[in-house]
Amino acid sequence: MMHTLPYVLSSRVRIARNLRHCRFPHVASRQERQVVLDQVHDAVVTHPRLRQADLVPIDALHPLDRRVLEEEGLISHRFASQGEQRLAILLNTHKVSLLVNEEDHLRIQAFQPGLELKRAWKAARTIENCLQETLDFAYSQQYGYLTTCPTNAGSGIRASAMLFVPGLIVSKQILPLMTHCLSAGYTVRGTSGEGSRSQGYFLQISNQRPAEPRIHTLLDDLEQTCQMLVNRERQARRALLASNGTTALRQQILRAKQQLLTLPQIDLETGTKLLALCRLGVSWGLPFRSTSKRRWSGTTQQRDFARIDALMLRIQPAHIMQYHRRHHQRTHGSESSLSLENDATLRARLIRSVMKA
């Protein structure tokens, strides 16, 4: 994993499944959706490997908490904003999530840091096997696993990786590579998935062939494509260093770090861009935290990547509001008379607290 962390933020594998003899969620009645929810719920709470899961009834959840889960990628925007009889099931310290009554009856998704598609697949597959002991999934000899959207039928599997490619974007090499990926049958998106644009030099690449029956072929092909992009990104970074000079790029990254420590207000776009520059700096051996006195090592670098990646999530709008509420509760004992500090001020304060910790 370590050798890909400078270039790959995370890998995700999602499995779509539906219960046999139950109508798809978009045409099911309220009662039918409840039947599906109850069956999945019972399968989880009675299985010895799953009973420690966190069960989150989305219908009853505060809108802010839904948005937090959405920003974390644990639930989709559709799941957060519409539907009934919805349940999110979180496992393995939230590295695996199950969504009940989303577009399909059940969506199992697993996440891993770095380029670890097969490890993510193994985690998702393990959960599916546990559920399959008591649930009967809809399957056709002709079409494979049946899904609400016909293009997802077959294996019902989507795999994706979130790449960090500042070298390719700055050097303007990314567009022909995106065209190549699209022509090879992949989807290329921004940081928030479908319809989003790239922020902080991140791009998501995912397969478009869930009908592919050979799972390892699907994963191998995507991994090879990601590895090709990683190699090109590595070359682009070397070229940037050669053309701009190590000192100039180092100064740019140090300025970004200084801005994060001193700016009184930081909007989301600015924060994401500055943190991305710091992430690039970590890949070149520059520590992230201002108080870091540890001898530089691979472990230090890995911790800094994890710290920056977590901070990029924590500066998102819903996370900032959640941070504000929790901070207010700790200092005032309740949410009453919640102060009206704006997001940019809170974001700057949060970033400083992490960098100075």
66 among annotated binding-site residues? no
Both ends of the chain: CA-CA distance in Å? 26
Please tell me the predicted confidence (pLDDT) of residue 197. Answer: 52
Residues 72-86 have pLDDT tens digits of: 999 999 999 888 899
Asked if pLDDT for residue 209 goes beyond 80, the answer is no
Q: Answer yes or no: is 56 a known binding residue.
A: no
Is 276 known as a binding-site position?
no
Residue 195 — pLDDT band, cuts 50, 70, 90?
Answer: very low
- Judge whether 161 is annotated as a binding position: yes
Q: What are the residues whose beta carbons fall under 8 Å from the beta carbon of 99, sequence distance 6 or more?
A: 75, 76, 79, 86, 87, 88, 89, 106, 107, 109
Strongest mean pLDDT among 18-32, 188-202, 288-302 = 18-32
Q: pLDDT over 90 for what percent of the chain?
A: 71
Q: Is 193 helix (H, G, I), strand (E, B) or coil?
A: strand
- Residue 14, annotated as binding a ligand: yes
**Confidence tier at 3 by pLDDT (50, 70, 90):** confident
Confidence of residue 23 (pLDDT cuts 50, 70, 90): very high
Q: Give me the phi and psi of 15, to 5 degrees please.
A: -115, 125
Please give the Cα distance from 70 to 322 (Å, whole number): 13
Q: Is 194 exposed, middle or buried (0-12, 13-18, 19+ CB in 10 A)?
A: exposed
Q: What pLDDT sits at residue 300?
A: 84
Asked whether residue 194 is marked as a ligand-binding residue, the answer is: yes
10 assigned ligand-binding residue:
yes
Annotated binding residue at 97? no
Residue 169 to residue 148: CA distance in whole angstroms: 36
Q: Is 119 annotated as a binding residue?
A: no
What is the tens place of the pLDDT at every residue in 246-301? 788 889 999 999 999 999 999 999 999 999 999 999 998 888 986 665 555 668 88
What per-residue confidence (pLDDT) applies to 189? Answer: 87
Mean pLDDT for all residues in the chain: 89
Is the predicted pLDDT of residue 25 greater than 60, yes or no? yes
Gap between the Cα atoms of 85 and 294, Å rounded: 50
193 in a labelled binding site: yes
In the chain, the domains with their CATH numbers are: 2-237 (3.30.590.10), 246-355 (no CATH)
State yes or no: 271 annotated in a binding site: no
Structure letter (DSSP) for residue 263: -
Mean pLDDT of 158-181: 93
Q: Which of 144, 228, 145 is nearest to 186 (CA)?
A: 228
CB 174 within 8 A of CB 205: no
Indicate whether 354 pLDDT > 80: yes
Separation between Cα atoms, residue 136 and residue 128, nearest integer Å = 11
Single-letter residue type at 50: L
Rounded to the nearest angstrom, the gap between the alpha carbon of residue 219 and the centroid of all alpha carbons in its chain is 18
Burial class (CB in 10 A: 0-12, 13-18, 19+), 77: middle
Confidence of residue 30 (pLDDT cuts 50, 70, 90): very high
